[in-house]
Chain A
Amino acid sequence: MCSVGDDNLEEKTSKYMEPVPKFKLDDNKCNKCRASTPCIVLRGKDAYCQACFLSGTTHKFKAFLGKHRFVYPNDKVLVYHTEGHPSTSLLHFLRSGLDLSTPKKLRFEPIVIYIEDKIDLSSEERSDAAEFIRKQVEEYKFPLHYISLCDCVKKNNKVAECLVDDISKLSIGDNDKENLNQVLNSKANTTNKRDILKIYKKTILIEAAKHLGCKVVFTPELGIDIASQLLTNVSLGRGIHLALDVGICDNRDEDVKIVRPLRHFEIKELAMYNHFNRLEVVAKKEKLENIYSSVQSLMKNFVGGLQNNFPATITTIVRTGDKLAMEKSLEDNPRCVLCRGPQENRNEELTSAESTSFSHWVSTRSPQYSMTPVERYEKSLESFSVAGDSPYCFACERLSHDLVVS
């Protein structure tokens, strides 16, 4: 049915998406200090000189932490570190903030964790990558712990047992990919595999944080990551946990909060930040993937493409994520055993989930033609029940079929 008339876009301005503004440097002066020559243009319109850009970037990071007050003085913070620009900027933000002697000095204690999960690369490439990380983190003088994703999954997520602080003890095996695939159903599609591994990694971060005495975890997702994750999670039926999964703070665990301090940054900002600060960045090696291979890669491609033409795309989606909340009435519901978020209310209002199970139910029952059609319906309704005692939330219930061990 045509929905065009329902869109309720009353003002012309809200009807059209804002395209990339035609950029022109008026007086060839920095937008901020109005004195120096600009060297970077952000959002397609704001030109800054190097000094103003660098102080602005640092300020943005600190302002985020200051505004939300996740961390208190002397708290330990677990920093999830990985290859690429964002993680490098994050280490630099932290180190330079800690080293300040002004009142703006950061007063917490970062501990870095590296999750070795590059099962698509050769063992040699993986060892090299870990070694690069070791050297890098050493320069910033932060303690570093390693954990192998495969090891952890194999040992049934006993994180404390798998955590090592010496790179020589980090297990990197040639059969990791097969081992990892063994705990997943061979028929599991790429979307579900990625979703499951994402949940496993989050569990690792939370458990590692507890083991290392950290109350907060910093993860390095940028705006584009948050925006594509938000759309991905909506598409996977994870709307219920959106505020936790892509919001400002994931506090589903009582003791450990996951915070995403780079959520308002774009890659260009951090690449330039690293460049101007002459920071060495550990390069990210990734397989190219077909965008239709998974919902995740499709979304990343979609958001990136839209952002190129409409620079407000990512900000708009990320802000949407900022304004979501966990529904109060769900707080006391049983927790999903996989993602640990509260489960949906069941048997109240009709939901999409219930409709889907009903459709599957009536599509798989042998019709008994001896009864009248109405009797047949009554009979199937009688025997139909919503999965009332599943230990999973809606989205994880779908994933659970792909888990060999649970």
Chain B
Amino acid sequence: MPACSANCGKNAILKRPKTGDALCKECFFEAFENEIHFTITRAKLFTPGSTVAVAASGGKDSTVLAYVLKLLNEKYGYNLKLVLLSIDEGITGYRDDSLETVKQNRDDYEMPLKIMSYKDLYGWTMDEIVAEVGRKNNCTFCGVFRRQALDRGAMLLKVNYLATGHNADDIAETVLMNILRGDLARLNRCTSIITDSGDGIPRVKPLKYTYEKEIVMYAYFRKLVYFSTECIFAPNAYRGHARVLLKDLEKVDPAVIMNIIQSGESLCVNETANMPTLMTCERCGYGSSQKICKACTLLEGLNRGLPRLGIGKSSKVKKLIEQDDLKRSAAGCCKSKNKSDCGNCACNKNEIKRDLSKAVEELKI
């Protein structure tokens, strides 16, 4: 068994994929936590005295994030008020287990927990939406609503920051994905550690430079409770390919993950290249590539009883709304229609899951 690279005299328990150094358990804990502290202070992620919503899904990343933020907040006196924020899509059966885990986190870390449902945020549960649009299109809704759910939740909670558990692997994967789909605008932005979704609440990523495998190891050695199936939603085709590629690259050299992030941070798009400018939605203020964002369009459709509005081409939306307005004013009809019976949005289970079960074994010495 190799000795700990820190020369503390103990035997190493893992080889760090980020640097190749071997560390014992104690030195690993200290390095892992201090690196996140370094990231937070060096990148000036929070101002003292603020309230931070920690996006909590019950998964490993958000569990470790909540745990470490609490620990660092106390150790280094950040003077932050930490709140757990969870989203409940309202899909029968789907969130139950992960929400239980989040509640466990709440009790273990003594942090207030706010669960926001799609009903709170949008006025509809996914089950109700499925009843309106059928299973074929429900993923469109779920995906679009998920994108803004955390931001809307943070807004309702009136917090100063939203911290998410995106790790180094996620960022590297996103860089590769944006190259594969030729999305220069997002390629340019996707490595930012602080982003703004248009509502003035910065989204920050304290785990941006933390390897997924180390997060798994940390949770394992700290015996943190988390819910291990993260996401039932299928990634888009580009992300799927990027994910496979990144896993292969890691086999050749694990340092590639940090290299890709470094590349993403330093590459530069030609000013003359015409990039779609990111606008903000006229209704909700969140980032959008149209005047009215997809979420607002879908909501409008649901509320008018035209659930297919927004599923098809965006160019048709305006015309459909105008037609509907005419019909309604002719009939003197009200605007809303609401039905609720149940279905299940978890229709697509083909996610290419990251193989984490092996991670612990691989790193163990």
Contact = CB atoms under 8 A, between A and B. Distances in A.
Query: Does B associate with A?
Result: yes
Interface of A: 1-12, 14-17, 189, 191, 230-231, 233-240, 242-243, 292-295, 298, 302, 306, 313, 316-317, 319-320, 323-327, 344, 349-356, 358-360, 362-367, 373-374, 376-377, 380-381, 394-395, 398
B230 A2 contact: yes
Interface of B: 5-8, 16, 18-19, 21, 23, 26-27, 30-31, 34-35, 37-39, 42-43, 55, 57, 59, 61-62, 75-76, 140, 143-144, 146-147, 149, 164-167, 170, 173-177, 179-182, 184, 186-187, 193, 207, 209, 230-231, 233-239, 241, 245, 248-249, 251-253, 255-256, 258-271, 273, 287-290, 294, 313-314
25 contacts: A1-B230, A2-B57, A5-B147, A5-B233, A6-B174, A8-B186, A234-B175, A234-B267, A235-B249, A236-B256, A237-B263, A239-B262, A239-B263, A239-B264, A240-B267, A243-B268, A292-B248, A292-B252, A325-B269, A351-B265, A353-B258, A359-B21, A363-B6, A364-B5, A380-B34
Contact of B260 (A8, A235, A350): A235
Nearest to A354: B42
B42 A350 contact: yes
Given A320-B184, A352-B209, A362 B31 contact: yes
B75 A374 contact: yes
A327 B34 contact: no
Contact of B239 (A4, A189, A233, A293): A4
B181 A377 contact: no
Contact of B259 (A8, A237, A367): A237
A219 B86 CA distance: 54
B179 to A, nearest CB: 6
Contacts of A295: 249, 252-253, 256
Given A5-B147, A316-B182, A373-B30, A233 B38 contact: no
A362 B263 contact: no
B19 A359 contact: yes
> Shortest 10 CB-CB distances between A and B: which pairs?
A239-B263, A5-B146, A237-B259, A323-B273, A1-B165, A363-B21, A325-B270, A352-B262, A239-B267, A240-B266
B204 to A, nearest CB: 12
A9 B23 contact: no
A4 B122 CA distance: 20
Contact of B256 (A5, A235, A292, A362): A235
Contacts of B182: 316-317, 319-320
B286 to A, nearest CB: 11
Contacts of A292: 248, 251-252
A325 B268 contact: yes
Given A1-B59, A238-B263, 16 more contacts: A1-B55, A1-B57, A1-B167, A4-B236, A7-B147, A11-B313, A16-B237, A231-B176, A240-B263, A298-B248, A317-B180, A326-B268, A327-B268, A352-B265, A376-B30, A377-B34
A367 B4 CA distance: 11
A359 B31 contact: yes
B142 to A, nearest CB: 8
A356 B38 CA distance: 11
A353 B37 contact: no
B179 A243 contact: no
A61 to B, nearest CB: 23
Select the residue from B165, B182, B207 with max chain A CB neighbours within 10 A.
B182
A323 B256 CA distance: 24
Given A14-B181, A353-B262, A359 B18 contact: yes
A1 B164 contact: yes
A191 B252 contact: yes
Contact of B252 (A298, A324, A325): A298
Contacts of B231: 2, 4
Contacts of B23: 363
Nearest to B268: A327
Select the residue from B55, B175, B241, B313 with max chain A CB neighbours within 10 A.
B241
B91 to A, nearest CB: 14
B315 to A, nearest CB: 10
Contacts of A344: 266
